Amino acid sequence: MRFEEVYRDHVTPVWRYVRLRVPSDIDAEDVTSQVFEKALRSWPSYDAGRGSVVGWLLGIARHAVADWWRKHGRELPVDQVGVEEAAVDDPEGDALRSLGADEVRRQLGVLTPREREAVALRFGSELTSAEIGEVLGISATAARMLVHRGVGRLREVMTDG
């Protein structure tokens, strides 16, 4: 399996996942590019026996997104209005709610970080519950419940809105 083929097949799910996790499309482009740079460097050490390629790539994407938030999280001019909705300390959620480039990102800002991640993996990357569990290090059932809870919360918020 050549990296070029892997990249062509998986650039879409990776970009869609990243796009749901950062506020703007420009940021998503930057992070997606970094994901594939890192993936290319560590491609020779990829072990197919330890998991699927898409899971491996999305694992790299999760770290890249976390790095992005560590670097840029404090610089973002987050509007504090509505931030009290956050149940826990969640700068990503705060920023997405106030700065998300589109409706879907603003709505995902109301979820907990874990739910947001699971929903992004299910809807953006189209992973199955088993694959989400593999990426997040939880069981398929737990992943399914996480997505279900996240979508339920979105439904409430959107109905209220």
Partner 1 sequence: MDEQYDAVERWDDELGDLLAGRGGRAVLPTEQWLASAARPTVPGTVVARVDHAVGVVSRRDDRPSRWLTVVAIGLAAAFVFQGVGNLVAGEWVADNLGEPYAPHPFREGGLAMIAIGVCAAAGAVSRRWSTASVLTCTPLAIGLGLHGFTEVGVFAAGVALHLTEGTLGILLAVCWWLDRRDRAAARREVRT
**Is the CB of 83 or the CB of 104 nearer to partner 1?**
104
- Residue 138 touches partner 1, criterion: CB under 8 A: no
**Contact between 28 and partner 1 (CB under 8 A)?**
yes
Please, are residues 10 and 4 in contact by the beta-carbon 8 Å criterion? no
Tally of CA atoms within 13 A in the half-sphere of 33 that contains its CB: 6
Half-sphere exposure of 47 (CA within 13 A, CB side): 2
Look up residue 95 and give its amino acid. A
Closest to partner 1 by CB, 80 or 159: 159
Looking at beta carbons only, is 78 or 147 nearer to partner 1?
147
| Cα–Cα distance for residue pair 109/86, rounded to 1 Å | 9
Q: Is position 45 an interface residue for partner 1 (rule: CB under 8 A)?
A: yes
Decide if 147 contacts 118 (C-beta within 8 A): yes
Query: Which range binds partner 1 by CB under 8 A, 68-76, 77-85, 86-94, 137-145?
Result: 137-145
139 forms part of the interface with partner 1 (CB under 8 A): no
Q: Which stretch binds partner 1 (CB under 8 A): 7-15, 64-72, 78-86, 92-100?
A: 7-15
Overall residue count recorded for the chain in this entry = 161
* Residue span 106-135 as binding mask against partner 1, x where in contact by CB under 8 A, dash where not: -------------xx-xxx-x-xx------
Q: Which residues contact partner 1 by CB under 8 A?
A: 3-4, 7, 11-12, 15-16, 19-20, 25, 28-29, 32-34, 36-38, 40-42, 44-45, 102-104, 119-120, 122-124, 126, 128-129, 141, 144-145, 147-148, 151, 154-155, 158
